[in-house]
Amino acid sequence: MMLLNEEIVRLVGMNKKALMLLSEPDRVIHFRLRRHLPAEYGVGFPVHVYVVYHSAARGPPCKGGIRMSSDVTLEETIQLAETMTYKCALMNLPFGGGKAAIVADSQLPPEAKEVLVRGFAHEIRYELVSGNYVPAPDLGTSPREMAVIFGETHIRESVTGKPVGIGGLPGREEATGYGVATVTEHAVREFLGSELSDVTIGVQGFGNVGSWTCTFLSKKGARIVTVTDIKGGTINRDGIDIEELKKHVAQHGSIAGYVGRSLSNEELFKSEVDVIIPAAIGGVISKENAGEIKAKLIIEGANAPTTKKADEILTQKGVTLVPDILANAGGVVASYDEWRKGKSGTRTKREETYATIKETLLDVFGEVLVYASKEKISLRKAALALAATRLLDTMEGRGWI
Ligand code: NAD
């Protein structure tokens, strides 16, 4: 599935050659891991791995996280790499779009993930040491798995999202959630004419992105009333105590069993909230539930959480949607800093990371708003068109088109 459509192609004046270059991934690597896990982990053998470079127009490196999930497919990995192409371009970063997927359970214990990630790094060693692909955490992976990759390459800039002690960037771990919360605050003012303290919010996913988004939003005074994860969810109209919820998840591995009324993922999208933030998996807002959404604002913390059909339904309903390539770009903006600092050896304070994310995201948000109102198109189309324009300029500059 291509993110660009005819309308955007026409709008940005994209020629056939450029369209051809962006319509398929530059490179797809598929392999199987030879070292397998003991049967007790319940992971079938062989474990398939995909590494996709969608477009290296602004790279190498191609940048994008490693997803570990039993459901992830090659098609989805291509779509996620494509999303990274436009996200990096929109943020003006000199990175191409990439993504990797390890087809294994996202809930595996860290010692099992380590075996798989070590095998992964061994197989694509050249891609990592050459700087062709620079991974980061995504669904199912965390700084610990990035540390495993650094342990294999011994090159600081070969991977971002590492623990701080081995050259990670202070603030990178919470960067995506910080960015989602910043964008949410801005969008609530811009589109709902309210402050965060006056709105209710529902969040799907309480991993890296979801939990940090909730943390920053609740610190800013927002009332988060519904949160779900893969195993369960909770609802509290007075506002969920995020610090208590984090303690529960740290202890039990999931929201399931948390005090108060439980809530399913299906109910989350139908609940009475002003803002919904999907921060888990793709395709969760679909034609099946889009019509029942009551929120007026959706902020895409996850990558590709909304299907094309759902997007049309939401637009018709007048729901404003801030797209993934803008809303969740705080992570890659911070990763760019980590990558640069890995090369130079300089250090950064957490506050500087936050300031860079805020400035970058809000500047781009402003550009997207202007473009959207000038062309009378949705924020998603405007963000994609702006990113496509930047890609066109880059490809022209390289003599590719
Ligand atoms: P994570 O593994 O840390 O957390 C994922 C969360 O989603 C967990 O709470 C999990 O229980 C929940 N979840 C998984 N499957 C689910 C399902 N079927 N239904 C409901 N909940 C489910 O992952 P993450 O890093 O927080 O990534 C979440 C999303 O944000 C992904 O779409 C990812 O691509 C996107 N994203 C992540 C980053 C980053 O820096 N980590 C950056 C940009 C975008």
pLDDT (tens digit per residue) in 378-398? 999 999 999 999 999 999 999
Residues 92-111 have a mean pLDDT of: 96
| Binding site membership of 302 for ligand 1 (Cβ less than 6 Å) | yes
Mean pLDDT value of segment 108-136: 96
Of the pLDDT bands very low, low, confident and very high (cuts 50, 70, 90), residue 2 is confident
Whose Cα sits closest to atom 8 in ligand 1?
207
291 CA distance to ligand 1 centroid (A)? Answer: 24
Q: What pLDDT, on the 0 to 100 scale, is given for residue 260? A: 80
Distance 231 CA to ligand 1 centre (A): 13
Ligand 1, atom nearest to 161 Cα:
40
* Fold observed for domain 6-166: Rossmann fold (3.40.50)
The predicted-structure confidence for 73-99, as pLDDT tens digits, reads as follows 999 999 999 999 999 999 999 999 999
What's the whole-number average pLDDT of the chain?
Answer: 96
Indicate the fold that domain 175-327 takes in CATH.
Rossmann fold (3.40.50)
Picking from 223, 204, 121, 190, the residue whose alpha carbon sits closest to that of residue 368 is: 190
Span from the CA of 68 to the centroid of ligand 1 (angstroms): 10
pLDDT band at 125 (very low <50, low <70, confident <90, very high): very high
What's the rounded Cα separation, in Å, for the pair 4 and 19?
A: 9
How does residue 261 score in pLDDT terms, banded at 50, 70 and 90? Answer: confident
In which element (H, E) is residue 68 found?
A: strand 66-68
pLDDT score of 284: 97
Distance 206 CA to ligand 1 centre (A): 7
Residue nearest to atom 5 of ligand 1 (CA): 207
Alpha-carbon gap, residue 98 to 55, rounded angstroms: 7
For residue range 208-242, what is the model confidence (pLDDT) as tens digits?
A: 999 999 999 999 999 999 999 999 999 999 999 99
Is 209 close to ligand 1, i.e. is its CB under 6 Å away?
Answer: yes
Check pocket membership of 328 for ligand 1, CB cut-off 6 A. yes
Q: What would the pLDDT profile of 370-379 be if each residue is shown by its tens digit?
A: 999 999 999 9
Other CB atoms within a 10 A radius of the CB of residue 258 amount to 22
Residue 137 Cβ contacting ligand 1 at under 6 Å:
yes
What percent of the chain clears pLDDT 70, i.e. is strictly above it?
Answer: 99
3-class secondary structure, 254: coil
CA-nearest residue for atom 15, ligand 1, is: 230
pLDDT at 1: 54
Instruction: Write out the DSSP string of 201-242.
Output: EEEE--SHHHHHHHHHHHHTT-EEEEEE-SS-EEE-TT---H
Q: How far is the CA of 270 from the centre of ligand 1 (A)?
A: 20
For 16-57, give the DSSP string.
Answer: HHHHHHHHS-SEEEEEEESS---GGG---SSEEEEEEEEE-T
Pocket of ligand 1 contains residue 210 by CB under 6 Å: yes
Q: Which of 109, 162, 106 is nearest to 281 (CA)?
A: 106
- What pLDDT is recorded for position 330? 98
So what's the pLDDT on residue 259?
A: 86
Between the CA of 350 and the centroid of ligand 1 the distance, in Å, is 23
Whether ligand 1 lies within 6 angstroms of the CB of 229 is answered as yes
Residue 279 Cβ inside 6 Å of ligand 1? The answer reads yes
- Whose C-alpha lies nearest to ligand 1, atom 19? 230
Domain segments of the chain as ranges: 6-166, 175-327
- 63-67, 243-247, 318-322, 343-347 — which is least confidently predicted? 343-347
How do residues 55-68 score in pLDDT, each as one tens digit?
999 999 999 999 99
Across 145-171, average pLDDT: 97
Q: Look at ligand 1, atom 36, and give the residue with the nearest C-alpha.
A: 302
H helix or E strand, kind and range, residue 297: strand 297-299
CB of 265 within 6 A of ligand 1: the answer is: yes
Catalytic residues: 99
Please say if the pLDDT value at position 36 is more than 80: no
Nearest CA to ligand 1 atom 14: 230
Residue 158 contacts residue 131 (beta carbons within 8 Å) = yes
Cβ(278) – ligand 1 distance below 6 Å: no
Q: Do domains 6-166 and 175-327 have the same CATH topology?
A: yes
- Per DSSP, the three-state class of 378 is coil
